[in-house]
Amino acid sequence: MNFIASLPTSRAAWLTLAASALVLEICALFFQYFLNLAPCIMCIYQRTAVLGLVFCAVSAINPQQVLLRVFGYLCWAISAFWGWSIANEHIAMQQNTNPFAFSCEVVPNFPSFMPLHQWIPSFFEATGDCGEISWSFLGMSMPGWMQIIFAVYSIAFVVVLLTRLLVKKSV
């Protein structure tokens, strides 16, 4: 328990979290550019959530500083839980046989002050169909695997934060 409680003050722990998310981003680009799987709007939103996990690396600058740790916690929690929610919705889109039940947006709904799909279209532009299952592994589509991955990130967040609060009595 003490080991888990001390992880938030470890630079290596924050860098490991960010590196794992960076590997997922590299995998997404591999699927897009080498396997020619066009990302849909929900894929782009999940990719954005994973990118939020990469931003946890900012906490590694000085994990002893509470404000940087809190920033890391916020990035971790928002990205993991939002990503799980998007993956869950994406699975529902793929499993629904009614073509009028869901509609897949064409343009990502990023804030007007930050149109990522215009700034970096090679990374944030959606060209695929949300309902299409063009890849599966062990009987699960990409959003199914992402749901598991985001669930692991979410559970890890809850375990680390609760352990930290209960054992160390601080964030």
Catalytic residue numbers, as ranges: 40, 43, 47, 104, 130
Neighbours of 108 (CB within 10 A): 16
What whole-number distance in Å separates Cα of residue 7 and Cα of residue 11? 8
Of the candidates 117, 127, 17, the one whose C-alpha atom is nearest the C-alpha of residue 77 is 17
What whole-number distance in Å separates Cα of residue 171 and Cα of residue 149? 24
What whole-number distance in Å separates Cα of residue 47 and Cα of residue 54? 11
What whole-number distance in Å separates Cα of residue 45 and Cα of residue 31? 16
